[in-house]
Chain A
Amino acid sequence: MPNTQSTPGNGHAAGELPEPRIVGFFCTWCTYLAADLAGTSRIKYAPNVRVVRVMCSGRIDPQFVLAAFANGADGVLIGGCHPGDCHYQEGNYNCLRRARLLKRLLAQLGLEEERFRVEWISAAEGDRVRQVIDDMVEKLRALGPLNMKQQQPLVNIVPQEHALEGVWL
């Protein structure tokens, strides 16, 4: 595929459109298990998502999402339990409230809304992992790579040297 905007150093040969890179934050009780189930069921899906396991989608700090974008992710996928099904009663609602705010912030920064997605996937829904990931990868391929440097200096919003010490905001 011809390409003119190849990002250097991403492991792809020049002239090849870089594949979207997605960071997934998956709740260990539902979506992570669903991804495990997809594995044991040998369901095949796009290899673009790298999963970070958390105990609950309520643990997902918006900073994690921003950090992923700041470090070069083209998309972020949050996977939590269906409403009413949270292993910890209501963590997924907290996640949803944060995600709604975060979506607005990301829009103001100029990110397309397809780049940040929250999905409820129960432990039984292995095939839904495939659907969601394949769908997201397809949409991000159409959007092309996220080139934050040309749009907004997100790095300034999440200064890495301070992020680790938890003193910013």
Chain B
Amino acid sequence: MPDLRNGNQPPRIGVYVCHCGTNIAGTVDVAALADYATHLPNVVVSREYKYMCSDPGQELIRQDIRKNSLNRIVVASCSPLMHEPTFRGALAKAGINAFLLQMVNIREHVSWVHTNKVEATRKAKDLVRAAVRRVGFHKPLEKRKVAINPNVLIVGGGIAGIHAALTVANSGKHVHLVERQPTIGGHMAYFDKTFPTLDCAACILTPKMTAVGSHPNITLWTYSEVASVEGYVGNYKVKVRHKPRYIIEDLCIGCQECVEACVYKEGRWADEFNLGLSKRKPIYLPFPQAVPQKVLIDPEACIEFKSHKCKKTCIEACGERNAIDFHQKETIEEIEVGSIILATGFKTFDARRNAYYGYGVLPNVYTSLEVERLVNASGPTAGEIVMRDGSKPKAVGIIHCVGSRDHNTNRWCSKVCCMYSLKLAHLIRERIGAEVYNFYIDMRTPGKGYEEFYDRLLDEGVHFVRGRVAEVTDWPIHPSENGKLIIRAEDTLAGFVRRIPVDMVVLSVGLEPQANARDVRRMFNISCSEEGWFLERHPKLAPVSTFTDGVFIAGACQGPKDIPDSVAQAGAAAAEAMALADAKYVELEPYTAHVLEDACSGCKTCLNICPYTAISFIEETKKAQVNEVLCKGCGTCVATCPSGSIEQNLFEDQEIFEEVEGLLAYA
């Protein structure tokens, strides 16, 4: 039975076949397809056009709707996830309900994945036939409007999170910035200089960090993690777990007198911020420019936690400020936000995985991040490039692509390593005049001023060897190699294998997704690429959006990125979040379920199946009822109901049965 509710008219269907240039027309016989559709029941017009999504293409549909009184539209083009909103807009503009549309995916699901034109056209015909059958049963629907909470949650306090937080906060919206480390700053805080301009990382980062710390519109949650996320676009409820610092943050003024007074006169525990290259005390400030300027206590190291027998000189030093609290407990607080920006960054490749480079075995093999700390003026050696034995290297080898472009570990290019290797080469040469050898596969320096920087390094006398390093060893085969590290690599330009003795080896480690990226992804209900990078909605046109409305991504959590790109993405994500907040309302898809009261037997089977507790049982009527505000439209209850008395808008049983029959009906 065709639905007669749309103006009490039987379906008058228009079918539109898109060529998508040659994307579709190259594999599907679009003329035959459009002609075939003409003969399907209820089809009034059927056309083909080069680009249906273009304005003239949409105008074609609008004209036909008016001229031929069409009340159902089928568009055979790309994925509905791409252009469904476009064509719904065209319907609405022509004066018929936007949901009287069915799209047929003949690009992603047909022309791009099949080569045989006959088979592809046959498949396209089947799909169009199914859509024509289905669309006749579509009913007019309205989108739901819900208010948007203007507050924004930003996860991750690296440069991307910081930039996004400041941008959003400056627009007058409130930002909750959650960072799991005791200070914000992220990886950028480790660096001394940034490529290619060689401006000091601290000089450009710390003012922004301070601005975040003091901004009236930013609530900073350091040493905190997101524990759970509930809700939907515009109305997220987020629980934040605040780990104990054993310092009352509101009372600590960052004077560090307690650190001075600690019973340990010297640091004895590996300093996380210097990657273990120096030692810290049980009570410490992560680094001098940390934001917030609040110390914290490491309970694993502090005597008071282990034996309760410490003299507690720190409490004495803190005096009236009373900021130290050994009994502090983890707290969980709930915040409400309208949108979320994930800027959780990356981790560096564990160089131990490439055992042939000797990291962790040969003491003078360093990772690039460790060398960043060594060259940093506020690092463990105050910027002096010395090795673990205190001597200065005379020759340094920098090995590119460690954990990048390698089929045994990570296949992707980490994008930043060539440039930071050049930067380190420059700094090492400038500071101690050592001979520096770069071993590279290809030099990848696209970017403003990047290639020029490479040119400059060539002039500075840095050596470049094109070839992947086979191994780093301390086994000499010649007296000149005694006491040295020997880098063995094929020089593919010179055409022979070289052994180059050096004092220090720097492994340019690649960028990897965070270890817990998959847990984070699950919590925020977004997708990851196979490698573990967060998946954007569209690689070109929606690079900071995700498939979950109201959740945006910025920075290296989406893929390897340098600082300018991270900041640009952070700005884009901030703009998206602000646009959402300023819209004040968001329209939700009307795919919700509803109970057909007459048919409902009140068996309550659906009540437990709903993951959102959107279904309740009404005692007076003994019927189930769906709260459409809570319903997210999965349709599980519809499939569960034993009496078939729950319907899901746009995915009604009838519509799907028609589609299945249409697919299989022989032409």
Residues of chain A touching chain B, judged by Cβ–Cβ distance below 8 Å, are: 9-11, 21, 23, 28-30, 32-33, 35-36, 38-40, 42-45, 47, 50-56, 58-64, 67-68, 71-73, 84-85, 87-91, 94, 98, 122-125, 130, 160, 163-164, 166-167, 169
Q: Which residues of A are found within 8 Å of B640, using beta-carbon distances?
A: 94
- Mark each residue of chain B from 640 to 667: 1 if its CB lies under 8 Å from any CB of chain A, else 0: 1011110010010110110111011111
Q: Which residues of A are found within 8 Å of B170, using beta-carbon distances?
A: none
Cross-interface CB contact of B639 among A42, A52, A71, A94, cutoff 8 Å: A94
Q: Which residues of A are found within 8 Å of B653, using beta-carbon distances?
A: 61, 63, 163-164, 166
Count CB-based A-B contacts (< 8 Å): 163
B88-140 at interface with A (beta carbon < 8 Å)? 105, 107-110, 112-116, 119-120, 122-123, 126-127, 130
Instruction: Considering the complex, give the chain A residue whose CB is closest to the CB of B127.
Output: A50
The reply to whether A58 and B127 form a contact with Cβ atoms under 8 Å apart is no
B387-416 at interface with A (beta carbon < 8 Å)? none
A9 to chain B, nearest CB (A): 5
B43 to chain A, nearest CB (A): 19
* Contact-residue size bin, chain B (C-beta under 8 Å from the other chain): 35 or more
How far apart sit A50 and B105, CA to CA, in the bound complex (Å)?
10
The reply to whether B522 and A58 form a contact with Cβ atoms under 8 Å apart is no
The reply to whether B648 and A59 form a contact with Cβ atoms under 8 Å apart is yes
Query: 25 A-B contacts, Cβ less than 8 Å apart?
Result: A29-B527, A32-B81, A35-B109, A38-B108, A39-B113, A40-B108, A50-B127, A50-B663, A51-B105, A52-B659, A58-B636, A59-B651, A61-B638, A61-B639, A63-B657, A64-B656, A71-B665, A87-B525, A88-B612, A88-B632, A90-B636, A91-B635, A122-B527, A124-B529, A164-B1
B654 to chain A, nearest CB (A): 5
How far apart sit A74 and B54, CA to CA, in the bound complex (Å)?
39
Residues A39 and B636 in contact in the complex (CB < 8 Å), given A124-B527, A163-B657: no
B103 to chain A, nearest CB (A): 9
The reply to whether A59 and B115 form a contact with Cβ atoms under 8 Å apart is no
Q: Which residues of B are found within 8 Å of A87, using beta-carbon distances?
A: 525, 548, 634
How far apart sit A29 and B549, CA to CA, in the bound complex (Å)?
12
A148 to chain B, nearest CB (A): 12
Residues A36 and B648 in contact in the complex (CB < 8 Å), given A29-B547, A42-B112, A164-B657: no
Instruction: Considering the complex, give the chain B residue whose CB is closest to the CB of A26.
Output: B109
Give the dominant DSSP class at A's interface: loop
Q: Which residues of A are found within 8 Å of B667, using beta-carbon distances?
A: 11
The reply to whether B123 and A88 form a contact with Cβ atoms under 8 Å apart is no
Query: Is B455 an interface residue, CB under 8 A from the partner?
Result: no
Query: Is B611 an interface residue, CB under 8 A from the partner?
Result: yes
The reply to whether B528 and A40 form a contact with Cβ atoms under 8 Å apart is no
Query: Is B275 an interface residue, CB under 8 A from the partner?
Result: no
B223 to chain A, nearest CB (A): 28
Instruction: Considering the complex, give the chain B residue whose CB is closest to the CB of A28.
Output: B81
The reply to whether B636 and A47 form a contact with Cβ atoms under 8 Å apart is no
Residue among B116, B122, B123, B634 with max Cβ neighbours from chain A (10 Å): B634
Q: Which residues of A are found within 8 Å of B108, using beta-carbon distances?
A: 35-36, 38-40
Q: Which residues of A are found within 8 Å of B238, using beta-carbon distances?
A: none
Query: Is B171 an interface residue, CB under 8 A from the partner?
Result: no
Q: Which residues of A are found within 8 Å of B648, using beta-carbon distances?
A: 55, 59
Residues A23 and B115 in contact in the complex (CB < 8 Å), given A11-B667, A124-B535: no
